[in-house]
Amino acid sequence: MQSGMNPWSSNQTVDVDRLFAEFGIEPIGEVVQRLPEVPPFMRRGVVVGHRDYQVVADAIRNRTPFHVLTGFMPSGLPHLGHLMVMKEVVWHVQQGGNGYVAIADREAHAVRGISWEKCREFGREYLKALYALGFRGTTYYQSKNERLKDLAFEASTKVNFSDLAAIYGFGPETSLAHAVSVATQVADILFPQLDAGPAPTVVPVGLDQDPHLRLTRDVAHKFRMFTVEDRGDYISVRSKNAPVEALEAVHRAFPGSKKYSGHVDIMGRPYALVDDTAREIEIAHGGFGFYLPSSTYHIFMPGLQGGKMSSSVPESLFGFYEPDTSVRKKVMAAMTGGRMTLEEQRRLGGEPDRCSVYLLNLFHMLEDDEEFADLRRRCESGEMTCGQCKKETWERVQAFLADLRDKMDAVEHLADEV
């Protein structure tokens, strides 16, 4: 029944190769070369795929406007599993992006039945963590953003129930509120362009969230009045549902162009100029002029016990305000890639790629590539025991959490103002 995935499932197994093949997600490899600096999460294979990220990479390199947006569903307290998206958003803001974060309280209320009061309480903790990590930009609760709700209503005119059934597996038993929360999520992804003007927009997500991106790209395309096509010898601006006077304005903007009943063909002009002009004319005639949103996709860090990281398995993760004694216990009890005996460990070395402690360092705790390479070497050579590695990792985790908590306390007022 379901051709995609359920982005609301807490038990997510993602087949990366199938997703790339079936849904046209591209490997991130080549596009990373366009960036002036490559962040650790891209260098180390945490971010594995993208849609249309090249326009964002070019905006970073050329210092032209772009937006970065993500959303958090406030169905519980933020924890280790949320850290990667937060870091990706903060990094894009530091590269010059306009930052946007939605607290998806409508979604939490509709899908998980979380009370509005709890949504607010949990949302505040997400915002504190984001501001503490260096986020600067626009934050909002879905339920309080009137322009967002209007855009969601507008977006819902472009979506029918067969789309929702095909993308999410919705059936007759799916509540209307769940469908409304999907339209709201589409609006979230397009909101930065409504708020700060059309520009490339990147949405960093886990692979399980791809259905939202596919739907939003489809809606953004349907909103456009024109499609601009490079035909080799000329650029063709084709009307989808543009008013007659808008097509006439395109013709006037390019002297010597040829106007037909549903399109204007333009010779000798660069594609980018024609595309920008068509977008400006569209906006002047009451359209949105949205760019199709881009996305990056990261793999999930496994839980500390191996397997899934999930709030329903407390040993698999730790919260940002969890007591040190509890976090230490989890790190020291984490599943490793060590051998059965110390003698074997010394002789054969550990297997870091199977070790949740190593992956905790790869994802979050060791920013420095040389230190990280040294950690791997010491593990594989048998020079370091698992006990020693856990002890060092716990010290990093403890320092990281102490710093994060101090900063979260310091930015509490920012979260309260949202």
* Residue 122 to residue 157: CA distance in whole angstroms: 31
Contacts of residue 315, defined as CB under 8 A and 6 or more positions apart, other chains included, come to 303, 304, 305, 330, 333
**Which has the closest alpha carbon to 202: 28, 51, 405, 17?**
51
Give the pLDDT confidence score for residue 42 in this predicted structure: 94
Residue type, 228: V
* Residue 34 to residue 165: CA distance in whole angstroms: 37
* Residue 110 to residue 399: CA distance in whole angstroms: 38
Burial of 234 (0-12, 13-18, 19+ CB in 10 A): middle
Give the pLDDT confidence score for residue 337 in this predicted structure: 77
- Token pair 């025991």 is found at 385
Give the pLDDT confidence score for residue 19 in this predicted structure: 66
Q: Strands 263-267 and 234-239: what pairing? A: antiparallel
177 token code pair: 């509120």
Query: 98: which strand partners?
Result: 67
74 token code pair: 């406030």
* Residue 196 to residue 193: CA distance in whole angstroms: 5
Residue type, 238: R
pLDDT (tens digit per residue) in 270-290: 999 999 999 999 999 999 999
Residue type, 251: H
* Residue 237 to residue 251: CA distance in whole angstroms: 9
pLDDT (tens digit per residue) in 72-115: 999 999 999 999 999 999 999 999 999 999 999 999 999 899 99
**Which has the closest alpha carbon to 127: 113, 117, 137, 116?**
137
Q: Strands 98-103 and 137-141: what pairing? A: parallel
Query: 23: which strand partners?
Result: none
* Residue 44 to residue 119: CA distance in whole angstroms: 34
Contacts of residue 167, defined as CB under 8 A and 6 or more positions apart, other chains included, come to 3, 4, 211, 214, 215
Angle between helices 324-332 and 386-410 (to 10 degrees): 150
Query: 294: which strand partners?
Result: 202
Give the pLDDT confidence score for residue 15 in this predicted structure: 62
The pTM of this model reads 0.91
Helix/strand number for the chain, H first, E second: 19, 11
Q: Can you list the residues of the chain whose pLDDT is less than 70?
A: 1-16, 19
- Token pair 């010059």 is found at 96
The continuous run of DSSP H or E covering 121 comes out as helix 116-132
